[in-house]
Amino acid sequence: MKPFDYIRPERLGQALSEGAKPGSAYLAGGTNLLDLMKTGAARPERLVDITRLPGLDRWEWGKDGGLRIGAMVRNSDAAHDPDIAAAFPAMAEALLSGASGQLRNAATMGGNVMQQTRCHFFADPFSPCNRRAPGAGCAAQGSDRRGFAVLGGSDACIATHPSDLCVALAALDAVVEIAGPEGLRETPLTDFHLLPGTGPEGHTRLAPGELIIALRLPAAAAGFRHHARYLKLRDRTSFAFALVSATALLRIEDGVIAEARLALGGVAPKPWRATAAEALLQGARPDADSFARAAEAALQGAAGHDAKITLAKRLAARALTQAARGTPARVPALPGSVHSGETAHV
């Protein structure tokens, strides 16, 4: 690991001025950054530890039922809180489908939004990677595309965004609160991550020195709580990144879909909100035909791996079907698993 200086500010203003200095990286839970520093994929000269900044490790409910979650809230605390899980069950299921118990105790909500792709060429400093070393090329282009983007990729990069949480946040219309040298600003989560285009090295809209301080879930997002699922296909049922995942949210009134939200994970370089599918579902009956048409629309234009595209369509339809049946009373024993509720194995 490359040597670095370590700074642990106790005030936000101090953290921001330290973070703006060249070569700085913010350290929160460290589960992604330290890992990349060990491989040499991340080489910060200064770590600015934000774990002691006041006020970032809690959440608060708005009077209208919206929720503001501080960036340093640990994934496990957000997922296990009964009120959060009741209002935003798909987010709780997404969180609990990710990583392991140990990692969720360390990882933070802000850090999850900031996490880097798990493309193994990105993590390996001996492979060409435009995201890590602009202009070096992309080793993934010539490989089996199963683990890579089928939507939103480019000749420069086809890495997928690995987050489960962000797929739920995208569907829930979450807002990212950002502090920086110029003050506070905010952006919708769906605009926060960038598609690679010709320059994949900047994967978010954060300017140097800027820091996520909170995530906000609007009150309207709790309106989907009765019909919400997060499903995730992966190579083993637990502790694996998504091959394909889907958040499906429905509001059903008088047997008709009043409003639908659908977001996909594992298929694109950013959490993929499927707005065309949502438009098709509005006013439709919550049945197999509607969901199949929505799934087709969600994968419109996808290319690169036919079997993965088929899987994604089926998972999207399945997530919508399960959401229509109703949110489980409790996050299933195997969160995100298509086997939940069945005896998958004994």
Partner 1 sequence: MSHTLNLTINGTAQEVTLDDPRVTLLDLLRERLHLTGTKKGCDRGQCGACTVLVNGRRMNACLALALSHDGAEITTIEGLAQGGELHPVQAAFIEHDGMQCGYCTPGQIMSAVGLIAEAQAGADPERIREGMSGNICRCAAYAGITAAVLQATETLTEEAERA
Pairing verdict, β 183-188 and 211-217: unpaired
34 versus 292: smaller Cβ distance to partner 1: 34
47 versus 172: smaller Cβ distance to partner 1: 47
Residues in touch with partner 1 (CB under 8 A): 1, 3-6, 8, 27, 30-31, 34-35, 38, 47, 49, 51, 76, 80, 99-103, 105-106, 238-239, 333-335
Min separation Cβ 234 and partner 1, Å: 11
1 versus 279: smaller Cβ distance to partner 1: 1
94 versus 312: smaller Cβ distance to partner 1: 94
Joined tokens for residue 75: 């994934």
Strand order from edge to edge, sheet including 211-217: 59-61, 67-70, 211-217, 175-180, 183-188
Cα distances (Å, whole numbers) of residue 267 to 178, 247, 309, 328: 27, 13, 8, 26
Joined tokens for residue 312: 């994604």
120 versus 225: smaller Cβ distance to partner 1: 120
Rg, the chain, Cα only: 20
Min separation Cβ 127 and partner 1, Å: 17
Min separation Cβ 239 and partner 1, Å: 4
Q: Which residue has the tokens 């990069």?
A: 157
Cα 97 to Cα 89: distance, rounded to the nearest angstrom:
12
Joined tokens for residue 126: 């001996």
Q: Which residues in 49-63 are b (16+ Cβ under 10 Å) and which e?
A: bbeebeebbebeeee
Q: Where are the alpha helices (DSSP H) in the chain?
A: 12-19, 33-39, 75-80, 82-87, 89-96, 101-106, 109-114, 120-123, 165-171, 189-192, 275-281, 288-298, 306-325
Question: Are 328 and 341 contacting, i.e. CB atoms less than 8 angstroms apart?
Answer: yes
